[in-house]
Chains A and B, each alone.
Chain A
């Protein structure tokens, strides 16, 4: 008796920045692979194809039964890729980046990457200026014995700590999709495979001058809009891709409730106090990363409890220092 024709076991991703939005790049198994995170269980199934127009032609006038539909058009796909963030493990340079699943994914999430050798070699990611060319990815997914190709992919980014484990980054992507094809998972060259991602232990968290918070959980949401679709009737397929909107970064910190003399979040929320908020994961050079909201204000303050322990969850929302600055967020890999 033959085994199942297709298994839901191994998966893989390739991603490369596009020179022109929506024009698919040639992908290489040796240089463009991402290292996805699937946890302990089996991977998620690949997401379904979606269509801007589903082909529906309404009901027949003589019997009110559905009419035969025409072919759907405006095909796109969206999905989520989870990764464990880590550094390169060796010195950064103008040509040595954090691994693809960090560098390329952050760029396609609406961030510019800047290399500096000061104070030590680092790559810093800050918001791409609106009105300029944004980074898009050609994305290939291998799953369930098939290959799924997308072009013009734009991403939104979130992450959340998992207790004391490695924080998991999630990139929600969407792009214009080609038809799938049979393909076994090829041999993919992953980057920095000997480097272990830093865990959420001994992290450094600063809420302005309040640097002694006992941190229980960290979550981040970039809140980038990638939903505006470009219907293009002149195009075969009818879908010209997506346009990104703005981002509204939010950093959520669950901490043990401090004495109000030390830090009074309800008071700071009421007075719209601005603070520089940052968290750093990892302490080894070239395998650590720091997320900063250089200017942030509390959006919500929610008291909580863990049994007899008083906690409070703070949500900080970033803002830019001037109406034209792009300094509301920075992610540093150094």
Chain B
């Protein structure tokens, strides 16, 4: 562990603390933060299949 974290706010407004991994170099941390969120957004609901029109 790096014992270094960043605060991130999820879509529902809750703030969570996530760790910076050891294998993420310092100069890539900003990109890592931008790519990491506290909670994944809910998976998009697959559209209902269009019934074949006879």
**A135 — nearest CB in chain B belongs to which residue?**
B3
Is B54 at the interface (CB under 8 A from chain A)?
no
Nearest chain A CB to B44 CB, angstrom units: 28
Q: Write the B6-20 contact mask toward A (1 if CB under 8 angstroms, else 0).
A: 110100000001001
Residues of A within 8 A of B30 (CB): 93-95
Is B46 at the interface (CB under 8 A from chain A)?
no
Bound together, the chains give a CA A94 to CA B27 distance in angstroms of: 9
Is B45 at the interface (CB under 8 A from chain A)?
no
Is B35 at the interface (CB under 8 A from chain A)?
no
In-complex Cβ contact of A113 among B3, B26, B27 (8 A): B3
Nearest chain B CB to A241 CB, angstrom units: 17
Does B1 lie within 8 Å of A132, measured CB to CB? yes
Q: Write the B34-47 contact mask toward A (1 if CB under 8 angstroms, else 0).
A: 00000000000000
**A118 — nearest CB in chain B belongs to which residue?**
B7
Does A19 lie within 8 Å of B4, measured CB to CB? no
Residues of B within 8 A of A114 (CB): 4-7, 17
In-complex Cβ contact of B5 among A19, A95, A115, A133 (8 A): A115
Bound together, the chains give a CA A265 to CA B21 distance in angstroms of: 45
Majority secondary structure, A binding face: loop
Does B17 lie within 8 Å of A95, measured CB to CB? no
Does B20 lie within 8 Å of A94, measured CB to CB? yes
Is B48 at the interface (CB under 8 A from chain A)?
no
Given contacts A94-B20, A94-B29, A95-B30, contact A112 B4 (CB under 8 A): yes
Bound together, the chains give a CA A116 to CA B7 distance in angstroms of: 5
Which residues 90-137 in A have Cβ within 8 Å of B in the complex?
93-95, 107, 111-116, 118, 128, 132-135
Is A17 at the interface (CB under 8 A from chain B)?
yes
In-complex Cβ contact of A95 among B9, B22, B27 (8 A): B27
Does B6 lie within 8 Å of A115, measured CB to CB? yes
Bound together, the chains give a CA A135 to CA B2 distance in angstroms of: 8
Residues of B in contact (CB 8 Å), total 17
Residues of B within 8 A of A94 (CB): 6, 20, 26, 29-30, 32-33
Residues of B within 8 A of A115 (CB): 4-7
Does B1 lie within 8 Å of A133, measured CB to CB? yes
In-complex Cβ contact of A116 among B6, B22, B32 (8 A): B6
Bound together, the chains give a CA A88 to CA B46 distance in angstroms of: 49
**A95 — nearest CB in chain B belongs to which residue?**
B26
Bound together, the chains give a CA A115 to CA B2 distance in angstroms of: 13
Does B6 lie within 8 Å of A17, measured CB to CB? no
Residues of B within 8 A of A19 (CB): 22
Does B22 lie within 8 Å of A133, measured CB to CB? no
Residues of A within 8 A of B29 (CB): 93-95
Top 4 A-B residue pairs of the complex, sorted by shortest distance between their CB atoms: A94-B29, A116-B7, A95-B26, A114-B5
Beyond A17-B3, A95-B30, A134-B3: 16 further Cβ-contacts under 8 Å? A19-B22, A94-B26, A94-B33, A95-B26, A95-B27, A107-B3, A111-B3, A112-B5, A113-B5, A114-B17, A115-B4, A115-B5, A116-B7, A118-B7, A118-B9, A133-B3
Interface positions of A (Cβ within 8 A of B) = 17, 19, 93-95, 107, 111-116, 118, 128, 132-135
> Could you list 24 A-B pairs, sorted by A, with CB under 8 Å?
A17-B2, A19-B22, A93-B29, A94-B6, A94-B20, A94-B26, A94-B33, A95-B30, A107-B3, A111-B3, A112-B3, A112-B5, A114-B4, A114-B5, A114-B7, A115-B5, A115-B6, A116-B6, A116-B7, A118-B9, A128-B3, A132-B1, A133-B1, A133-B3
